[in-house]
Chain A
Amino acid sequence: MNEQQLRDVVTGALTQVAPEIDPEALDPAADLSEQLDLDSMDFLNVIVAIHEQTGIEIPERDYPKLATLDDAVAYLAAAQQHGAAGPPG
């Protein structure tokens, strides 16, 4: 997936958890949990949704590396590069 696709995956996962948000209005550099009032259950559901879309297993210790939208996209791009578990395409 390219960067835009990964971004869409993350915003898609976020809107699943918080249906009322406007992905366009997200500040890509601000903390997602604070910005969207996510609790740990919400955040875990975001991680699960990202996994379903990309196949990337994000270990718990890496959660802080996905704090913002930009961070999350960068993390997923890197994980994909290292061939973690990304599906073909």
Chain B
Amino acid sequence: MSKMPVIIFGAFLTFLFSWMGLVAYPYFQLGRFTPFVAEDTGDISPPPLSGMAVMGQRVYASSGCIYCHSQQVRQVGYGSDLERGWGARPTVARDYMRQNPAFLGTMRTGPDLSNIGARQPSIDWHHQHLYQPAVVSPGSIMPSFRYLYRLQKIEGQRSANAIDLLPPDAPPDGYEVVPTYEAEALVAYLISLNRNYPLPEAPEPPQ
């Protein structure tokens, strides 16, 4: 019976250590990054986001994209992320320093988005895909985000940012589909997702 107090004391200490190891330590080690500045070019990595992309992060959060998409390219030996072309190198903690919240994600009902801006650099593609994902990617079960767009009558000339859609979602004659500000912000954010900049702690793995 006298071992019991020892067990309890040990339990308490370990619980305390877990707090230090998984909460306090990460704050100090992974929560105070500054960006890396390349000596020769002056490039800042990770690059700061445009204002629209920052707003786009909020739309990403508000729409719950993390429940189908991850944003972490895993290391060599942990899955086929690199072989699938989801990134030139694994992602590291500093890559997330500008993200709030960090969109690591835990499901891959859809592909990893860490570098979607590099894979799909076209704004038009993103708008079309958000509106009609099953048409752009046959077999996809991604829902349509049509609620981020407006169907409106064309007045005079077609709007500059009206998007092209394939049937069956193409607007009827005289009408156009125009993204709301939220849709444009979201796409600006998606285009910004490109972590192929080099970081000293994350060298590109040999091919």
The answer to whether A and B assemble together is: no
Residues of A within 8 A of B (CB): none
